[in-house]
Structure 1
Amino acid sequence: MNAWIGWALAAAAIAAGYVGWGWQGVVLGITVTVFWLLLQFSRALRAMQQAAKRPRASVASAVALHAKLEPGLSMLQVMKLTGSIGEKVGDDPETFAWRDAGGDAVHVAFTGGRVGRWQLLRATAGPDAGTHPAA
């Protein structure tokens, strides 16, 4: 959800509380807003704890991650998809990379804290890849 929408809803809850129940409604509106903020904080912490349990910048399948990404996802949502914290590989735009066991990687560029673009980088084949020894 957009932060502006969240804060507008919080202000609307406080205003509705005041109109309906006076100062007690304002207290209720503030309480609901604080509870909502605590839920968001708890969600972020839970995602960080899960990501901290896995190796950094690793993902089960880079191809699957590439297929699941879409523009506008937040870093928290990408961390939930990958299950790990990405490795920062660039600053402008802020770019993070995740790799799988096969060497494939996904580079995700974040613009304004949201996924702007991403790129799948396949592992290069070794010099003897695809050749079989003569029998």
Structure 2
Amino acid sequence: MKYQKILVPVIGIALLAGAWHTWGWPGVALVTGGLVMWVLLYVNRLMTALKRAADRPIGYVDSAVMLHTRLKRGLGLLKVIAMTRSLGTALSPEGEQPEFYRWTDASESHVTCEFVDGKLVKWELVRPEQAEPADASDSPAAATGS
């Protein structure tokens, strides 16, 4: 069970009750204004991240390697979307846990992230195989004799 779903409303109600007990109706108005401001800041952050993500292709990131280095266990999906400025390509069926999303860059490297209840638990970077020269004599160093 997620305690955050229960804890946040309980704290809000406790703040309202404390404000009522201490200052009466002006205190309730002050705490209500603060709670509304907190919700509006969250919605503003959400809308900004989604607006930036709407301008980019789904599942695209500038550098998968840089994304891989910036990821940390416990990051929320919204923060990862804000980092990549792109919605991830969903790999898992809708509504199932865990959720898998993938971001790919121009070099076909990709990062696959696993989210449980909206929190990052695992991620993996996959880089494509680089084609190596078939013969060592084809290299510029062999041609110049260095």
**Fold shared per TM-score above 0.5:** yes
Q: Give the structure 2 partner of residue 104 of structure 1.
A: 109
4+ runs deviating over 3 angstroms: 2-9, 132-135
Q: State the TM-score, normalizing by the size of structure 1.
A: 0.85
Q: Match for 1:116: what amino acid?
A: V
**Among residues 110, 118, 123, which one is paired with 1:113 in the alignment?**
118
Contact (CA 8 Å) 1:14, 1:28: kept in 2 or not? no
> Could you say what the CA RMSD is over the residues aligned between the two structures, in angstroms?
1.9
Larger Cα-atom Rg: 2
Q: Give the structure 2 partner of residue 122 of structure 1.
A: 127
Contact (CA 8 Å) 1:73, 1:115: kept in 2 or not? yes
Q: Give the structure 1 partner of residue 52 of structure 2.
A: 50
Cα separation, 1, equivalents of 2:72 and 2:81: 13
Q: State the TM-score, normalizing by the size of structure 2.
A: 0.80
In the TM superposition, residue 30 of structure 1 has moved relative to its aligned partner by 1.6
Name structure 2 gaps, 5 residues minimum.
Answer: none
Q: After superposition, what is the alpha-carbon deviation per residue over 1:77-114, rounded to whole angstroms, capped at 9, x for unaligned?
A: 00111111100012442100000100000000000110
Q: After superposition, what is the alpha-carbon deviation per residue over 1:110-132, rounded to whole angstroms, capped at 9, x for unaligned?
A: 0011001001011134xxx2126
1:36 aligns with 2:34: no
Q: Give the structure 2 partner of residue 25 of structure 1.
A: 27
Aligned partner of residue 19 in structure 2, secondary structure = helix
Cα separation, 1, equivalents of 2:92 and 2:127: 19
Q: Share of identical aligned residues, percent?
A: 34
